[in-house]
Amino acid sequence: MHKLIALSAVLLSALCQADAALDYGGDIETTDWSVSGSVFECRFEQTLAGYGKAVFYHEAGEDVTFQLETLKNLMSYSQARVSILPPPWQPSARSEDLGVARIIKDTPNLRLDATRTNQFLHALLEGKWPAISHKTYYDQNRFVKVHLSAVSFPQFYQDYLDCVRQLLPVNYRQVARSKVLFASGEEQIDAADIKILDRIIFYIKNDPRIFAVYLDGHSDSVGRRYDNRQTSKVRVEDVERYFIKQGIDPEIVTTRFHGDRYPVASNKTAAGRAENRRVTIRIEQREDMPIPDNLLFKPKTRTQTTASGD
């Protein structure tokens, strides 16, 4: 009997702590959604007044991820609870536990995998409220909860979908460092190589921040060093010709050939030699260059309105 009373006291204490948690997020009067982006990324976010932003971040070529960006993080740098709550007007409905995610010191302070991010979006479409809750870093007995309000979500979700539809199929990180491989004695690019190169060329043509393309030819160590150097030269020049033929400005293309000087694998095995017979492609981007206005996303919902219409 005494153990049952003690357990009840512990559960009651935990419930009281959860109820007493500092709660950040919108309500029916103050929910604040916005959508912004470009052909490179979309940000679908809700302001958490006094705490930061809850962001659905969708980069070109990737799945969407949920991010928590705080003005000043209050949560302990450890595993926080992830859940989906019923809206306040359905207090008897059940919550859904989605496990835990780590709070970190970098920005964003929390990032969810694509699966749980899409569960968040689905919940908001159903009118539910996704939430992150955790103890504070300064007091183990104090708790913080942030929640996303579903108020006005469907309206802004359509803007988010419009933004996603105009994203490029690939992002800079996916093409910044690439390579094409050659069979022994092969000097010309083939259909598989062209597929890789076309992806890179497409990105270069659609990102005005790209200012340089570096092509480096390599060979394995079979044969004379001079012959290997000439082979790597022929290979890289074939790739260069294809870039220029497809409309890439030759002024931004730099070619180099190295023969067998820089292996990336052992030349003692067939698999290693296959890795060494390559042309690498590196593109460089001006990160400080503003994205041109014509590449920015312009949502139909330009000004945020609250549920009350203010």
| Residue 299 falls inside a structural domain | no
Question: pLDDT tens digits for 227-237?
Answer: 999 999 999 99
Secondary structure letter of residue 136 according to DSSP: B
Q: How many domains would you assign to the chain?
A: 2
Q: Which domain-ending residue is among 151, 167, 183?
A: 167
pLDDT of 220 strictly over 60: yes
Residues 161 and 199 in one domain: no
Among 168, 207, 169, 166, CA closest to 298? 166
Say if pTM beats, i.e. exceeds, 0.85: yes
Sorted by sequence, the CB contacts under 8 Å of residue 66 that are 6+ apart come out as 54, 55, 56, 57, 111, 112, 116, 117, 120, 130
Residues 142 and 196 in one domain: no
Q: Which domain-ending residue is among 126, 152, 167?
A: 167
Host H or E run for residue 17: helix 2-19
Among 191, 201, 163, 203, CA closest to 300? 163
CATH number, domain containing residue 281: 3.30.1330.60
Strands 52-59 and 96-102: unpaired
Question: pLDDT tens digits for 34-49?
Answer: 999 999 999 999 999 9
Residues 287 and 192 in one domain: yes
| Residue 309 falls inside a structural domain | no
Residues 70 and 161 in one domain: yes
What is the band of 8 on the pLDDT scale with cuts at 50, 70, 90?
Answer: very low
| Residue 101 falls inside a structural domain | yes
Question: Could you tell me where the beta strands, DSSP code E, fall in 110-205?
Answer: 110-111, 129-135, 143-147, 177-181
CATH number, domain containing residue 85: 2.60.40.2540
Residues 159 and 45 in one domain: yes
| Residue 177 falls inside a structural domain | yes
| Residue 304 falls inside a structural domain | no
Question: pLDDT tens digits for 54-101?
Answer: 999 999 999 999 999 999 999 999 999 999 999 988 888 899 999 999
Range of the domain at 132: 22-167
Residues 133 and 224 in one domain: no
| Residue 161 falls inside a structural domain | yes
Residues 163 and 213 in one domain: no
Residues 154 and 286 in one domain: no
Residues 158 and 252 in one domain: no
Q: Which domain-ending residue is among 152, 167, 182?
A: 167
| Residue 65 falls inside a structural domain | yes
Residues 180 and 64 in one domain: no
Sorted by sequence, the CB contacts under 8 Å of residue 274 that are 6+ apart come out as 181, 183, 220
Tell me the CA end-to-end span of the chain in Å, nearest whole number.
56
| Residue 131 falls inside a structural domain | yes
Minimum mean pLDDT among 175-179, 193-197, 267-271, 302-306: which range? Answer: 302-306
pLDDT at 19: 53
Residues 55 and 131 in one domain: yes
Residues 50 and 104 in one domain: yes
Question: pLDDT tens digits for 131-156?
Answer: 999 999 999 999 999 999 999 999 99
What is the band of 179 on the pLDDT scale with cuts at 50, 70, 90?
Answer: very high
